[in-house]
Structure 1
C-alpha cells in the first residue's frame, strides 16, 4: 500500500489533526486486486490492536484512521466490487469493522490531544524560562522520516544493541498469546470473532454471515466519518496524495499473500508519561460504545487456532513459557508496553523500517524440507509469518503451503487453507522464502513481481532466496522504494524472465545495512500444509 510511517519533524507528541492529515497521504493502486487490499486492511487492524494494547495511542489512532480512509474512500470504488460477489461481501464486512472502530477513534482522540496540549504547554514554559526541557526530544537526522511509533518516546532502544532483550521480550509475549488462545480453545471463537475473520478477507460461508441489504449501511458509515472530518482542517475528501498514484494498466496477477491488513501507516506512542505524570502511559483497553461490539482487547490473539495439516518440530521446540519462578506464566517483567525499538534502516525515500528478527535455524530447516524438490530440480516456497512486539517484527512460523513447482517457479494452491491458518493463529505475513535449485542467488523478474505483492502491503516484507549449490548460497532482499516497488507495480510484462529499466530495483535487507537481524535463540515452528 505504501509507507506505514508518519512523516514528522521530530519525536514530539502530535495532535489528532496532524495525525489525521498525514494518515490520508498514501499511494493507492486500484489495479491490485481487491482481495489483496482487503487483507491489507485486515493487517492494519491487527497492528492497531497490538499498538493499542501496548499503550501507543497515536499509532493506534493513525492506523485505524487510515484503515477507515482506505476502506470507505478507496476500496468502496474498487472495480472488483462490480465483478465479484464474494469480494463485494468481504468489503461489506470490512465496512462493518470501520463502523466499530469509529468509537475507538473518538475515545483515543481526547487522550492524544491532552498529551499534545500538555507538551506544547511545557514547551512554552521552557521557552519563557529559556531553559532546556528536562526530557528533551531529539530530532531525527535530516533527510529521514521518524518512526511514528517513537512519538513521545524519550529513550527508545536500538534493536541491534538489544537483540537478546528483543528476543526474550518477543518469546514471552508469544507464549502469553498462545496461553490465551489455549485457554479459550474449549469454547472456540465467538460468532462475532468468526465474522471479524471473514471481514479480514478469509473466504467462507458469506451468505449465512452477511445479509444482502447490509450495503445500505454505506451512508451511515460515511456520515460517521464525516463527523470525524469536521474536527480536522484537512478533510478526507481533500487528501493530497491518497489515490491513483500508480498506473492502473498492470496485467500482472499478484500472488496471494496471507496478510491480514496492510501493514502501513504507523503513527504512535503514548509513552510520554515523563512529561505529564497525570497522563497514564499504559491506558486501559478501549471499550466500544455498543454492547454488540467486541471489546478492543478481544483481538485475534484470543481466537482458538485451527489445526494445520501438519506441524513439524522445529530445530528447537519453543517452550510454552520462558524459564521463571512460575513455570506456568511468561516472564513477568517483560512487558511489551515498557519497550520501544527504533527503526534499524530506511527506505530510499526516507521511510523508517522496523526491525525484523529472523530465526537463525530457519533456513536449514526449510532446506531440509525442500531437499526432495531441490534434488529433482524443483523450486520450493514457504511463508514467513510472525507478529509485532514493541515496534519490532518477529518471525515465529515457517508455513509450507500446498504448492506446484517447476525448475523456475513455485505457485501456492488452496490458498484458503493458508489464509485460515494465519488468521486462526493471529499471524502477520512478513515475507517468503524459496529455493533456486540450480540458479544463482538473485531475484528473478518473476520473484520481483511475487515480492511486490508482499511489500506493497508491508514495507518491511522480505524475500529469502536459497541457492544451495552456489556461492553465495542465500540472501535476504527487498525492493527499493524508489524506484523498485513502483517500477514492478507498473510493469505489464508477463514472461518468467524479462528486464526492467531500472538497475537498482532490489537490494539486500540483512543487517547491516538492512533491517533484518538473525538470532539463533529466536524460536519458531514449522507448519506443513501440503497434503
Structure 2
C-alpha cells in the first residue's frame, strides 16, 4: 500500500514523553476560561488515544494536563474570581484520576520500550523524512520532531493522509456512528438510573402516563370503585391508535397492569365467553414521539442531516481506528507536528446558503467547526451556527455557554470557525487574528475559514504562524477594531500546502442554535 509504513519505528521512553509533555508555552494573559477548555480538551483527547491503543500520546496528554492544571492554572490571575473558582476546583479534582491513569500506562510504555531495545540492539534507525508543510514549493527535510512525536513513534501502519482520504472517510463514518450509538445508549441508561429522562420528552410523558394508570388501578383495587373516564383527551396525551373504536371518550394507551398473570382464570373466562360477540380490540401501546430532534438542543432549528450510509455490522480490521495512525501532514514553524484535519467539501456551500440573508444585508455570519479525533487525525463532522450579533465588519458569538454545553453533550471538539466578509476581500483582519488566537491556543490545528463571496479569491483556510504570529497577537494590547501588527507573516494558508484536506464524501450535520 503506497504511503503506508508497516514497520514500527523506535518507541519513546517515559522520560522522552515527559519532556515533550512539558514543551508547551503558557501565557497568563490568556483568559482562564480558555485554559480550562484547553485542559478539558487534553483529557478528552487522552481518552480517545488510550481507547485506540496509542498509549504514548495518551500518556503525554495526561501529563500535560496535570502540569497545566497543577502548576499553571492554580496561580492564574483570574483564578480568584468567583465565576472561575468553581470551574478550576472541578478541574483540580480530575488530577488524581489522571495520575492513576498515568501509573497504569507507565509500565506498559517501559515494557514496550525495553522490548524494542532488546530486539533491535545495534540497529541504527535512519531519521524520518517528513514534509515541513511551510509555503508553496516546500522541500522535504529531516526533522527531529518526527521521531519525537509520541503519536506516531513506534506505531506500525502509519498513513499519509494525502494518499488515503478514501480510507479516512470510511474510518470516520464508521467510528462516528459507533460513538454516537455508545453515547446514546449510555445516556438512556443513566437517565433510567436517575428516574428521569431529560433528553426525551416522549419517554418522560409515557412514564407519567404509566404511573397515573397504576395509581388508578391501585385505587380501584382498594376502594372497589370504577375510575371515571375522561370525556376529553388530556392535552399532553397522544391520539389513540387507529385500531381503537371511535368514541368521544378518551382511552389511555394500553399499559399492562401490575398484577400477576393467572393462567386458570384466563381459561375460565375464555370458556364463559365462547360464542359471544368479541369485545372491541384494545388499542396497542403507543410510543409518544417528541417533535424535537433527539440530537438537537431545545429550542433550536432542526438540524440539517446529510445522507449517511448505515454502518456495517461486521467491521473488518482495516476499519478499526486502532489499526492505523495518520501521520502529521504539516509542521508548525517551531517544528511541532500538526495532525491532519479533514474538511467536508460541501461544508462551505451549506454555510454560505445559511449566511445568504445576512450577506445580502451586508452583515457578517459566523459558524463553529466541530468534530472529533480518530486515528491521530481530526474530522469536521458538525457545523454549528451559534447565537451571534453582527455588523458589516464584525461577528460576535453570544451565549457561549449554550454552545459549549451542546458540544459537551454531543462529545464534540471545537476545531475552528468559519465566517463571511460580505463586502471585504478574503483576509484575516486584526480582529479575526485576536479571535482565532483563542482557538489555536486550545488546539494548534484549529483553522479559520474566511468566505468573501463577492471577491476573488472567494475563500481561504488559514492558521496563525507559531512563531511569530501567535506570540505577537497574544502580547498585543491594542483594542481598536482594526490595528496593524508589525509582523508580515502573522498567518498562513493551511491548505496549499498544509494540514487541511478538503475531502469529498465526508458527511456532516448542520445545527443552528440561533433562536
TM range (shorter): 0.7 to 0.9
Matched, 1:518 2:502: yes
Q: Helix, strand or coil for the counterpart of 1:310?
A: coil
Distance, in Å, in 2 between the alignment partners of 1:447 and 1:190 is 45
Report the counterpart of residue 484 of structure 1 in structure 2.
Answer: 469
Is it true that 1:307 corresponds to 2:279 in the alignment? no
SS of the residue 2:359 aligns to: helix
Deviations 1:225-281 (A, max 9, x none): xxxxxxxxxxxxxxxxxxxxxxxxxxxxxxxxxxxxxxxxxxxxxxxxxxxxxxxxx
Which residue in the other structure is 2:486 paired with? 501
Query: Is residue 74 from structure 1 mapped to residue 72 from structure 2 by the alignment?
Result: yes
**Per the alignment, do residues 190 and 518 of structure 1 end up closer, same or farther by CA in structure 2, a change over 3 Å counting?**
farther
SS of 1:311's equivalent in the other structure is: coil
- Matching residue of 2:23: 25
For 1:330 and 1:497, the matched residues in 2 are separated by 52
In 1, the alpha carbon distance for the partners of 2:9 and 2:317 equals: 29
Give the alignment's Cα RMSD to 1 decimal: 2.0
Residue 189 of structure 2 corresponds to residue 187 of structure 1: yes
The one of 115, 128, 144 equivalent to 1:139 is: 128
User: Are 2:40 and 1:51 aligned?
Assistant: no
5 Å matches for 1:244-255? none
Q: 2:92 corresponds to which residue?
A: 95
Secondary structure of 1:385 counterpart: strand
Measured in 1, the distance between the counterparts of 2:144 and 2:55 equals 23
- C-alpha separation between the residues in 2 aligned to 1:527 and 1:331? 32
For residues 382-401 of structure 1, the aligned pairs below 5 Å read 382-401=367-386
Match of 2:201 in 1: none
Q: Does the 8 A contact of 1:137 with 1:154 survive in 2?
A: no
Within the candidate set 58, 61, 64, 2:62 is matched to: 64
SS in 2 for 1:434: strand
Q: 8 Å contact 1:379–1:406 — kept in the other structure?
A: yes
Provide the residue aligned with 1:356 in structure 2: 341
**2:155 aligned with 1:171, yes or no?**
no
| C-alpha distance in 1 between matches for 2:383 and 2:22 | 34
Q: Is the 8 A contact 2:157 2:323 kept in 1?
A: no
Larger relative CO (CA 8 A, sep 6+): 1 or 2? Answer: 1
- Matching residue of 1:212: none
Counterpart in 2 of 1:231?
none
1:51-450 to 2 correspondences below 5 Å: 51-82=49-80, 84-124=81-121, 127=122, 139-140=128-129, 141-143=141-143, 145-146=145-146, 147-188=149-190, 307=297, 309-314=300-305, 316-319=306-309, 321-322=310-311, 324=312, 326=313, 333-450=318-435
- Asked if the contact 2:449/2:460 (under 8 Å) is kept, the reply is yes
The question of whether the paired residues in 2 share the 8 Å contact of 1:354 and 1:393 is answered with yes
User: Is the contact between residue 477 and residue 509 of structure 1 (CA under 8 Å) also seen in structure 2?
Assistant: yes
1:172-206 CA distances to partner (integer Å, 9 max, x unpaired)?
100001111222332346999xxxxxxxxxxxxxx
Task: Give secondary structure in 2 for the equivalent of 1:64.
Answer: helix
Deviations 1:269-320 (A, max 9, x none): xxxxxxxxxxxxxxxxxxxxxxxxxxxxxxxxxxx96635223324x3334x
SS of residue paired to 2:120: helix
d(CA) in 2 for partners of 1:27 and 1:190?
Answer: 44
Find the aligned partners of 1:407 and 1:11 in 2 and give their Cα distance.
52
C-alpha offsets along residues 11-33 of structure 1, whole Å, 9 cap, x if unaligned? 52112122112212211011111
Distance 1:163 1:348, change over 3 A: same
Counterparts of 2:86 and 2:56 in 1: how far apart (Å)?
Answer: 31
Q: Deviations over 1:57-93 (max 9, x none)?
A: 11101100110000000001111111x2131111111
CA contact (8 A) 2:127 2:143 kept: no
Matched residue count: 395
1:148 is displaced (CA, Å) by 2.3
Contact (CA 8 Å) 1:306, 1:420: kept in 2 or not? no
How does the TM-score come out when normalised to structure 2? 0.74
- How far, CA to CA, are the matches of 1:154 and 1:138 in structure 2? 16
Distance 1:488 1:439, change over 3 A: same
Question: Partners in 2 of 1:40 and 1:318 — Cα distance?
Answer: 31
1:333 Cα deviation (Å)? 4.7
Separation in structure 2 between the aligned mates of residue 190 and residue 443 of structure 1, nearest angstrom: 48
Q: Secondary structure of 1:463's partner?
A: strand
Measure, in 2, the Cα distance between the counterparts of 1:409 and 1:168. 38
Q: Secondary structure at the match of 1:81?
A: helix
CA contact (8 A) 2:420 2:451 kept: yes
Task: Give 1:491 deviation, angstroms.
Answer: 0.7
Deviations 1:322-358 (A, max 9, x none): 3x3x4xx767751000010011111111111110000
For 1:311 and 1:305, the matched residues in 2 are separated by: 9
Specify every segment of 5 or more residues in structure 1 that has no aligned partner in the other structure, as ranges.
Answer: 1-9, 193-303
Which structure's CA Rg is the greater one?
A: 2
Would the aligned equivalents of 2:31 and 2:78 in 1 still touch at CA under 8 Å?
A: yes
